[in-house]
Amino acid sequence: MSKKWVYLFKEGNASQKYLLGGKGANLCEMTNIGLPVPPGLTVTTEACTEFYEQGKKLTDEIINQIEANLSILEEQTGKKFGDIDNPLLVSVRSGAAFSMPGMMDTILNLGLNDKTVEGMANKTGNKRFAYDSYRRFIQMFGDVVLEIPKVKFDNALETAKEEKGYNFDTELTAEDLISLVDEFKTIYKEETKTEFPQEPENQLLMAVEAVFRSWNNQRAITYRNLYDIPHNLGTAVNVQSMVFGNMGDTSGTGVAFTRNPSTGEKNVFGEFLINAQGEDVVAGIRTPLPIDKLNEVMPEIYNQFIEAAHTLEQHYKDMQDIEFTIEEGKLYFLQTRNGKRTADAALRAAVEMVDEGLITKKEAVMRVDPKSLDQLLHPKFDQADLEKSVPIAKGLPASPGAATGKIYFTADEAVAAVQRGEDTILVRKETSPEDIEGMNKAKGILTSRGGMTSHAAVVARGMGKCCVAGCESINVNESSKIMTVKGETYTEGDYISLDGSTGSVYKGKIKTVEANISGNFSKLMEWADEFRVLGIRTNADTPKDSEVAVKFGAEGIGLCRTEHMFFEESRIFSVRKMIIADSVEQREKALAEILPMQKNDFKGIFKVMGIRPVTIRLLDPPLHEFIPHDEEDIIDLAKDMNVSVTKLKDTINGLQEFNPMLGHRGCRLAISYPEIARMQTKAIIEAAIEVSREENINIIPEIMVPLVGKKEELSILRKLIIEVAEETKKEFGSDLQYLVGTMIEIPRACVTADEVAEYADFFSFGTNDLTQMTFGYSRDDAGKFLEDYKDAGILEQDPFQTIDQVGVGKLVETAVKLGRGAKDHLHLGVCGEHGGDPASIEFFHKTGLDYVSCSPFRVPVARLAAAQAAVKN
């Protein structure tokens, strides 16, 4: 028996997505559940594969099956291909298993030729319409089947209009169009050296081949590479008899959603036009009417449509996006698919569908894109106001949300402006830890340098503050307090607006709308928690951040960066004294001043977190980050500290590094200056003991050593930490428990994780640094070539946003295997920026980590993504 290459719509169903494509399967499904669908047939994806196997040729068997099914279609419609009185006209559309831009889209009115166009004119009584359809068909066919440049046809059309003095296509008369058809056929012949095919069956076979060929055009291949769609799936071809919504006042066309795609409200939402074709809706020449008006003009059709919409939603168990046409009082469905929706709508629909009993909680959890939650948690621009605004530049969407305010170029000036009651945007080339206060006070942050994990991006996300980073087309001059964009200059006090979710920068003010978290949100989050396996912690350095994160559902702190506490104005002086100390004694004296401050910081965090685990990382950044570098600031500091400018400069010079990222930082500091690690350990242990007593709980602090590459580093520091901790406990008469672990962020630590595990109670993967070193990319400099790399198809995504599973991921897997091999109860987490990225979270789930940790505002994203990862795997 020969293979079935062609299916009539009534022969297939929705489960045959891979064989019939998504569109074809849905047309079959609608046909079979009894909805009125213009009859048609689908040439299978297997026929596409066969087409390629035969050297891009349709086999006789496929051609025969197409023709045989075409005969059935003629019977079903009572029309005939090439019949002058009652011609069968069809649309031809591609349809793969996955929606895939780049392939050939649609040819309408196939079947028209010099004779049937007359039949169509007679049948519709509208010669103009018939010839307009014909010239469009020639153009579409020429363009997509034979790759004749569209512009050739457009030029002919424009010339015709100019000659007649017309402004709009609609002014063209039937006669104009008849001669235009002739011209189009001439163009066709000039370009292809053949006559425009008059035989409808030829037209059809040529169109089918064109669809199959388009499967392997460059755009489609690139798209599949980008989205990891296998190249051997092939596309199906849908051939459907045409229906016309423009056959008078009992005809029409429209689109509708079964629920409101903006709000999720359960109410059919859509619009229609009487006496119109789909493209009229798109062209925007006439204004469509809201769908309920249909009740007034065609109540019967309306009821029929509403009922069918309900049927479709119940049938697909999801909000549907439906295309329909009414031809002379008869309703037809041309397409149904799951509707695109805003985050608000996705959330509301998912939760309400569970309440309606339509879907399960598990299904609801899978219905909301975790990334879209950002829209719910941050301010947005007022849509109307936004539409009036023009973006002046685009940077990286570093931290979501919308902000508007006056620009200031230094943190101090931004803070002063906020104190005057102004809304401000802090604009910097790049931010540094000295800018924290200004960042905290500003509404939004804009930098011209740095990537998704630059200082500005990381800190802003931690604060839940809007940030556009690495906006290279803006030239920031901090000293003269101006920025220039495309030749235009903005000075201090000028208004701009930022969209941190898209990276767009706008001139002037745009109204913002505050975030509004509904009850549906917490319901969905609870359901997510039921399914997820991964724990969710947060990266938080202050009691305030910790509180926000707990509110969002964080189960602990995975990364508390102690250095952020060093920058507060009240303590930076002591920190600097420590750094320029000449001897261990001097350094210890300065550290003794810092100790009570750090201890209080930790107490504040412990109080918020209670018995939730808190992982505190020892000092990580290179010391020069704490010292000013401007001449003026250095002179001030020297005066303040009572040292000579020369000595201070010598110290600063001595601290300078060619590649600070690979320099004297992390645990290397603790090895060189063990007194710093001792002070921090003491502060942590004392804080934990005191809060445990005050609150009558058992806090178990987790002390984390950063940047370990050799087991010896950890063994030495573990010993030091335990020594200090035990001394402190003895002093306090406490039996506090604590853990000592390490960041895994150096490639060497990954490949020797079995050795490192010997001295670690836990690992926390620092995937930011691990990505930097595994790729050899500086996160602050990669902006210079990442765009070139995306353009060249080398990188599909920024590896600092979504973990590179093939390379960095392999090192993570190696470390997990070696680490757990050496110590099977080893607790594993991740605290890099990837901890808040859904695709990365799925990878971490599969890799068997115990938890992910992310910035507070990403906690809900992580909860949902973790749940989806668990359901999927």
Residues with catalytic annotation?
Answer: 455, 831
Helices (H), 660-766: 667-672, 674-695, 711-732, 747-751, 753-757
Shortest distance in whole angstroms from residue 755 CB to a second copy: 8
**Which residues inside 255-314 make contact with a second copy, applying CB under 8 A?**
none
Given a contact cutoff of 8 angstroms between Cβ atoms, the answer to whether 90 and 40 are in contact is yes
- Kindly state whether residue 751 participates in binding a second copy, applying the rule CB under 8 A: yes
Q: How many CB atoms lie within 10 A of CB 383?
A: 10
- Kindly state whether residue 626 participates in binding a second copy, applying the rule CB under 8 A: no
Given a contact cutoff of 8 angstroms between Cβ atoms, the answer to whether 605 and 617 are in contact is no
Shortest distance in whole angstroms from residue 753 CB to a second copy: 11
Cα 824 to Cα 818: distance, rounded to the nearest angstrom: 10
Structure tokens at 133: 């359809």
Place of tokens 């009691």: 543
- Kindly state whether residue 448 participates in binding a second copy, applying the rule CB under 8 A: no
Known binder of ligand: residue 767? yes
Known binder of ligand: residue 768? yes
- Kindly state whether residue 36 participates in binding a second copy, applying the rule CB under 8 A: no
Shortest distance in whole angstroms from residue 651 CB to a second copy: 13
Closest CA relative to residue 474, chosen from 465, 464, 482, 484: 484
Starting at the edge strand found earlier in the chain, the sheet holding 252-257 runs 289-290, 269-274, 252-257, 320-327, 330-338
Per CB under 8 A, the segment of 51-59, 435-443, 522-530, 806-814 that binds a second copy is: 806-814
Per CB under 8 A, the segment of 102-110, 236-244, 566-574, 805-813 that binds a second copy is: 805-813
Shortest distance in whole angstroms from residue 511 CB to a second copy: 36
Known binder of ligand: residue 484? no
Closest CA relative to residue 251, chosen from 327, 330, 323, 332: 327
Given a contact cutoff of 8 angstroms between Cβ atoms, the answer to whether 513 and 428 are in contact is no
Cα 783 to Cα 452: distance, rounded to the nearest angstrom: 9
Kindly tell me which residue out of 781, 797, 822, 871 binds a second copy, with binding defined by CB under 8 A: 781
Place of tokens 């994203």: 861
Per CB under 8 A, the segment of 210-218, 320-328, 394-402, 707-715 that binds a second copy is: 707-715
CB closer to a second copy out of 636 and 657: 657
Cα 836 to Cα 863: distance, rounded to the nearest angstrom: 9
- Kindly state whether residue 433 participates in binding a second copy, applying the rule CB under 8 A: no
Kindly tell me which residue out of 290, 596, 793, 821 binds a second copy, with binding defined by CB under 8 A: 793
Kindly tell me which residue out of 123, 807, 817, 820 binds a second copy, with binding defined by CB under 8 A: 807
Compute CA distances 290 → 111, 295, 324, whole Å.
34, 10, 14
Beta strands in 355-399 (DSSP E): 380-381, 391-394, 396-399
- Kindly state whether residue 716 participates in binding a second copy, applying the rule CB under 8 A: yes
- Cα distance between the two ends of the chain: 39
Closest CA relative to residue 708, chosen from 672, 673, 658, 760: 760
Cα 634 to Cα 637: distance, rounded to the nearest angstrom: 5
- Kindly state whether residue 226 participates in binding a second copy, applying the rule CB under 8 A: no
- Kindly state whether residue 812 participates in binding a second copy, applying the rule CB under 8 A: no
Helix (H, G, I), strand (E, B) or coil at 216: coil
Cα 206 to Cα 200: distance, rounded to the nearest angstrom: 10
Known binder of ligand: residue 809? no
Kindly tell me which residue out of 555, 780, 798, 842 binds a second copy, with binding defined by CB under 8 A: 780
Closest CA relative to residue 313, chosen from 371, 269, 262: 269
- Kindly state whether residue 778 participates in binding a second copy, applying the rule CB under 8 A: yes
Kindly tell me which residue out of 166, 567, 573, 775 binds a second copy, with binding defined by CB under 8 A: 775
State the Cα angle at 259 between 308 and 530, rounded to 5°.
Answer: 115
- Kindly state whether residue 777 participates in binding a second copy, applying the rule CB under 8 A: yes
Kindly tell me which residue out of 773, 828, 859, 869 binds a second copy, with binding defined by CB under 8 A: 773
Known binder of ligand: residue 561? yes
CB closer to a second copy out of 360 and 484: 484
x-or-dash string of contact with a second copy, 650-689, rule CB under 8 A: -------xxxxxxxx---x--xx-----------------
Beta strands in 63-152 (DSSP E): 90-96, 106-110
- Kindly state whether residue 752 participates in binding a second copy, applying the rule CB under 8 A: yes
Closest CA relative to residue 797, chosen from 845, 857, 837, 831: 837
- Kindly state whether residue 629 participates in binding a second copy, applying the rule CB under 8 A: no
Known binder of ligand: residue 539? no
Known binder of ligand: residue 769? yes
Chain residues binding a second copy by CB under 8 A are 657-664, 668, 671-672, 707, 709-710, 712-713, 716, 745-748, 751-752, 755, 769, 772-778, 780-782, 784-785, 788-789, 792-795, 804, 806-808, 810-811, 814
Binding positions for Mg(2+) are: 745, 769
Binding positions for substrate are: 561, 617, 745, 766-769
